[in-house]
Amino acid sequence: MPTRLKDEIIAAAIDGYEAQKKHLDQQIAELRAMLSVGPAAETAAAPEAPTRKRRRRMSAAGRKAVAEAQRKRWAKIRGEAEPPAPAKPEAPKAKRRISAEGLKRIIAATKKRWRLAKAAKARLATAKKAAPATKKVAVKKAAAKAPGKTAKKSAPVKKAAVKKAAPKETAAPAAPATTGPVAQ
């Protein structure tokens, strides 16, 4: 069997199945008609799928009105004279504003922080510039010692970090581990 069927073959198969379905539906309808005579039996036997209605959305004001009405009904059932009045929301607090003095302090602190950061960056740059200069001097001195040979430039070698050994503790030797019951 080929792995892919052509579209024409698939379309023909669909048509064939639909024709069979129509034929079967017709036969089922005839059998139902034989069972009970009358159009009411036919409609009751094959109900159509219900169409879904689109739900309406309630506005916030509508929800508030419904909630208030429900509160009144519950208050009446409980025997309360009047439902408790809904608490009015407190007036929102005024937005806090920073004073001119506080703003000046923040600006001064930010400028100081940036000034220190730039100074640290400058120190780092000068340190980087000074370090390669000493290496060049060493290479030039080596070339001067061996006049006939030219100095080879090699990639800088990274030195491995030396780990400090922890001081040895004098501890009693550990007891051997046992796997079975201990005989005494």
Q: Output the pLDDT for position 22.
A: 93
Q: Output the pLDDT for position 184.
A: 47
Residue at 101: amino acid letter: E
CA distance 18 to 24: 10
Q: Output the pLDDT for position 161.
A: 58
Please, how many CA atoms are within 13 Å of residue 11, restricted to the half-sphere of its CB?
Answer: 3
Q: Output the pLDDT for position 65.
A: 96
Q: Name the one residue in this structure whose structure tokens are 């009047």.
A: 82
Furthest-apart CA atoms within the chain: distance in Å: 124
Q: Output the pLDDT for position 180.
A: 56
pLDDT < 50 regions, the chain: 1, 3, 184
Q: Name the one residue in this structure whose structure tokens are 């639909």.
A: 18
